[in-house]
Amino acid sequence: MSPPTPTLVIGIGHEWRGDDAAALLVARHLREQDCPQVLVREMSGNAADLLNTWQEAAAVMVVDAIHGPAAPGTIYRFDAQSEPLPADLFPACSTHAWGVAEAVALGRILQCLPPTLIIYGIVGQNFGLGTGLSPPVAPAIPEVAQRILKEIEYLKR
């Protein structure tokens, strides 16, 4: 019997772009937990890299800071297998060039999406140069990490 396939969590962002680091902080928070069946990666969000990386697991959770009409710190969850990502939340001109939405769309066309692909988006406020999160975004970090851990437990059933 082969060992269970680990769940892959990918935090996307840039350390030096304010709230764009939110997903990296979620990834680091998860890495500190005792989750032997969870692989955590930090990535810049390049679509080609995402397509290759998420082939590593049957269940993948991606976290990214997003733009949106909701208040900064708002958390969105999308099941990328059953719904397209809203272009207004994941704009093509992100700090990653071709990003998450493009990777999902291309993966759908190429039929290479993982069986489970959940995308969490945290609405950011400041994507300018610099470190540190905006005050309304910081509380979303442990909240998203907790939601991911609960989702992983659910998937184990």
Q: Domain spans of the chain?
A: 7-127
Strands laid side by side in the 38-43 sheet: 38-43, 7-12, 59-66, 116-123, 75-79
Rounded distance between C-alpha atoms, residue 22 and residue 30, angstroms: 13
- What is the average pLDDT value for the chain, to the nearest integer? 89
- Residue 43 pLDDT grade (very low, low, confident, very high; cuts 50, 70, 90): very high
CATH top-level class for 7-127?
alpha beta
- Residue 31 pLDDT grade (very low, low, confident, very high; cuts 50, 70, 90): very high
- Which pLDDT does position 156 carry in this prediction? 83
- Residues 89-119 have pLDDT tens digits of 876 554 446 778 888 999 999 999 999 999 9
Rounded distance between C-alpha atoms, residue 9 and residue 62, angstroms: 6
Rounded percentage of the chain residues whose pLDDT exceeds 70: 92
pTM over 0.95: no
- Residues 64-96 have pLDDT tens digits of 999 989 999 999 999 999 988 887 787 655 444
- Which pLDDT does position 41 carry in this prediction? 95
